[in-house]
A and B are shown apart, each in its own frame.
Chain A
Amino acid sequence: MIPFDYRRADDVDSAVATVTGNPAAAFLGGGTNLVDHMKLGIAGPELLVDVTHLPFDRVEELPDGGLRIGANVRNSDLAAHPLVRERYPALAQAVLAGASGQLRNLATTGGNLLQRTRCVYFQDVTTPCNKRTPGEGCAALHGYTRYHAVLGASRHCVAVHPSDLAVALTALDAVVRVRRADGERTVRASALHRLPGAHPERDTVLEHGELITAVDLPPLPLAANSRYRKVRDRASYAFALVSVAAALDVADGRVRDVRLALGGVAHKPWHATLAEHVLRGGPTTVDAFNAAADAELAEAQPLPDNGFKLKLARNLIVSVLRALAGEDTR
């Protein structure tokens, strides 16, 4: 760990200006990921700008019936919020499926989205990693790949994004609000994270100095019938092998509308648009659910250690859709 300066931000504009103007500065949220990276030598910011005292610490109801989640809302508070639990149960379930109670008490909404991959090679500076040091090579590609990507990877990077929250937000059409030096912009949650391509060092579309201030959840009635299921190598406190966030609206034995996203399969939360397309208007049958999963996974390219993820993802999609369809499953 190398010495760094610490500054507590009192207002958002100066925080954004400070980090924008200093390539070696970083925002500090809960610190549950960044501080680890500083110890491990993965990150070495000269200046930490602590944004946790900025007034983004509330969950507010929007006039249209949606919710605005402040970037500083702690994961525990987000998962416990009555309106989140009532209107977007998959979101609360996703947050509770992540990390541990202690970490959730500290981790923020914005920080959760910006956490970095848990690829063991990324996390060990003695092995090459293009995400950590562009051009160095990817140790994971021919290494231990049980947890790695089966969709959308490149030869430069096969890492997966570890956030559960991000998978649920992707499924729920959330919009990320971002402050930048010259104003504000919004990014769909499903478009926040990138596929690795030739630049795995960039996890998201955000530019240096851009600060997440809130996440907006649109009014989405079908989200009341939503679910997050995460399969992992122990019952708690482990990253996903595969996870599924889904919301389903059924009428007369047919899928009126659906949202589906996968975690643990790609460099970003995977919005399963192909499966959604197959499902919409179709019957709520196990065959139809299987066909939808197959459509989504048709292009998957597993690595030597993670071929099981295809069957696991397929089974998990079907299992979650069956549960959401309930007695309407035929």
Chain B
Amino acid sequence: MTGLLEPRSVGADRERVDGAAKVTGTAPYAYEQPVPNPAYLHPVQATIARGEVTDVRTGDATALDGVLAVLTPFDAPRLETGRDAELEILQSPEVHFRGQLIGAVVAETPEIARQAADLVRVSYARSDHDVSLSADHPGLYRPDEVNAGGETDTRQGDPDGAFAGAARTVEATYTTPMYHNNPLEPHTTVASWDSSGLTIYDSTQGVHSMRQVVASTFGIDESGIRVVAPYVGGGFGSKGTPHANIVLTVLAAKRMAGRPVKYALTRQQMFSFVGYRTPTIQRVRLGADEHGRLVSLSNDVVEQTSRIKEYAEQSGEPARKLYAAPNRRTTHRLAPLDVPVPSWMRAPGECPGMFAPEVAMDELAQACGLDPIELRVRNEPETDPGSGLPFSSRNLVACLREGARRFGWDTRPRPARSTLEDGWWVGTGVASSAYPVHQSPGSSTATVRFTAARRYEVRIGAVDIGTGAWTALTQIAADALDVPFEDVDLRIGDTGLPAAAVAGGSSGITNWGWAIVEAARVFREKFGADPSPGDERTATQPENPNTERYAMSAYGAQFAEVRVDAYTGEIRVPRLLGVFAAGRIVNPRTARSQLVGGMTMGLSMALHEESVTDERFGFVVNHDLAEYHIAACADVRRIEAHWLDEHDPYVNPMGTKGIGEIGIVGTAAAIANAAYHATGVRVRDLPITADKFL
């Protein structure tokens, strides 16, 4: 790549182009898409965790006025099988987890559908189930690879020998609980299947990827399917891969032969079959010399997956690459359980996998008598510890130093439990953040068209899940075409547009933006600066040769102030401050929202969130937003996100690294470290709740 896109619109603080429509309630989300004469679906869910459905009595349900259809495992339309067991619902009587979709009622109103679903009588042959993860689970196995394609295990040197001989050591087990994504908009599908084809309005992170899965699951051609998602109320990964609710709705639409079917999940259903972050058990061992330089670093990770489909969260990844250490080991082992299939949640692997090592680093700093920032600086690698490649850019130390300056770190007393103010123990903590630059060359294609109105229409099947992509892509297109922002009309969220990668892995701007830049380049190459109406060019995001030559990641440093009530253990975080180095920032307004949002979600992870499984029944019992606690406004005080000007010519033509996920990476460790500094109590098991300080 020679030089980056000249920024004119890029870098400008712009309101969201979709903002007015959203705040006035006129932006149509999936459920609000107008379809003629819709019918409504309510599912039937398994109430055992393992076994078989032996009988389904639908008489009472079908007798209800307004019930149009009841689907069961014994009479549902057939699907292609053998590809993805998560999606193969109603194809056999087997039950693999409690809450599994085993039927559906379609009715004239949502209320009738729900009432009728309660009247469907299901009999089971129940088998013993196992939903309990432990570090010594007898079924632990080694997956072939982990999510995002990483290696399952890595080993450099002699980690155990170096640990045994280290002058300073930390050895501890850290745990993160199960988490459930709860975007404001629950998963929603509106499907209509008539002679002209199948149309799906969905709350999804990827219209093309979803179309592909629906086509293969139903054994039909992609050309007969249209997926539309102009506005999505949050996803965080849970809408990144299609889940069984989509299949159920399309099955119902097929049965209804032309009449559209609408299905929006209840909040309780969000805890059953649309993915979750696996709980993790991480055994970390750090060994250092007397100066705090790491000689050994290992993280052995135990997680769960479902018996029917493997998902291996890559929680060992951060330990592979953040700090220099000549001897190192990371491993992943999975327990296959009778549970729903785990899936993506904001920064899969990187987020839970940063908690353990970054708390361990705080413990090592204490063991070495070093400031936690100084310890990190001393272990800064010259090249990527995982691949040995040079960094395309790496400004972790600069983030730590800038954060320290802004936060006022130099006034921090060294000893823990040394500040009591008005009945509150006060402390501060720090942790590093990192998130890899993901890119999928060839995944995204864009079209630039000059219209009769003498405007530039830019078409790409990207999806804005609340990130600001509508606005940021318009800014990139304006600069790529060298025209004012106002001259660009962006079209996204429809499989009728050129194919685009899923909104995931913080890679949207990289993949989609690059396709737009390339399309603008070939457009100008062909038509010059003065095109004629109707001129149009299409291009696909090319290979990036630099990915073979450089290690690419965004970095950050997060600082937390924590107060713990000396009597009650109540914990508050009056201040969070993050400094990030994530390449060029396209739009400061939407970027700040992404980073502050990630940090808020990290605070929520640190203090509140925990999906509680009742092992006897096999399901998450705190399955609503009154009992599954997400940070409330009162918990979120001052949160600041800053960034460094970072020039990285290797990542992509925009110079961007992706900012959707890095904000949640490291937050929980910073808060746990601050809680230790406040109280002297080291909490290694999230969430950090009042009872742990009593």
Contacts and interface: CB of A to CB of B under 8 A. Distances in A.
Given A1-B115, A120-B622, A143-B621, A312 B568 contact: yes
A236 B635 contact: yes
Interface string A296-316: 000000000000100110011
Given A234-B629, A234-B631, A238-B629, A316 B608 contact: no
Interface in B548-607: 567-570, 572, 607
Given A120-B627, A312-B694, A319 B567 contact: yes
Contacts of B111: 1, 3
A237 B632 CA distance: 7
Interface stretch (B83-91, B352-360, B495-503, B611-619): B611-619
B621 A311 contact: no
B131 to A, nearest CB: 13
B269 to A, nearest CB: 12
17 contacts: A1-B114, A2-B118, A3-B115, A120-B623, A126-B47, A143-B616, A143-B621, A233-B629, A235-B634, A241-B690, A308-B691, A311-B694, A312-B568, A312-B690, A315-B694, A318-B567, A319-B423
B570 to A, nearest CB: 6
Contacts of B614: 127, 139, 143-144
Nearest to B636: A235
A236 B632 contact: yes
A144 B621 contact: yes
B626 interface: yes
Interface residues of B, number: 33
B622 A144 contact: yes
Nearest to B625: A237
B568 A144 contact: no
B633 interface: yes
Interface in B505-552: none
Interface of A: 1-3, 39, 41, 118, 120-121, 123-124, 126-127, 139, 142-144, 231, 233-239, 241, 308, 311-312, 315-316, 318-319
A251 B378 CA distance: 61
Contacts, number: 86
Contacts of B423: 319
Given A118-B626, A234-B634, A142 B616 contact: yes
A231 B634 CA distance: 14
Nearest to A121: B621
Contact of B694 (A1, A39, A308): A308
Interface string B652-694: 0000000000000000000000000000000000000111001
Given A233-B689, A234-B631, 12 more contacts: A2-B115, A3-B115, A41-B118, A120-B622, A120-B623, A123-B624, A127-B617, A139-B614, A143-B616, A233-B629, A236-B633, A312-B568
Contacts of B115: 1-3
The 4 nearest A-B residue pairs measured at CB: A236-B634, A308-B691, A235-B634, A319-B567
Contacts of A41: 118
Contacts of A3: 111, 115
A26 to B, nearest CB: 18
Given A1-B115, A233-B608, A237-B632, A312 B621 contact: no
Contacts of A315: 567-568, 694
A311 B629 CA distance: 23
Nearest to A120: B621
Nearest to B114: A1
Contacts of B569: 231, 312
Nearest to A316: B568
Contacts of B621: 120-121, 124, 127, 143-144
Contacts of B631: 234
Contacts of B624: 123
A315 B612 CA distance: 27
Contacts of A318: 567
B612 A144 contact: yes
A107 to B, nearest CB: 14
Interface in B94-130: 111, 114-115, 118
Nearest to B633: A236
A298 B614 CA distance: 30
A127 B608 CA distance: 25
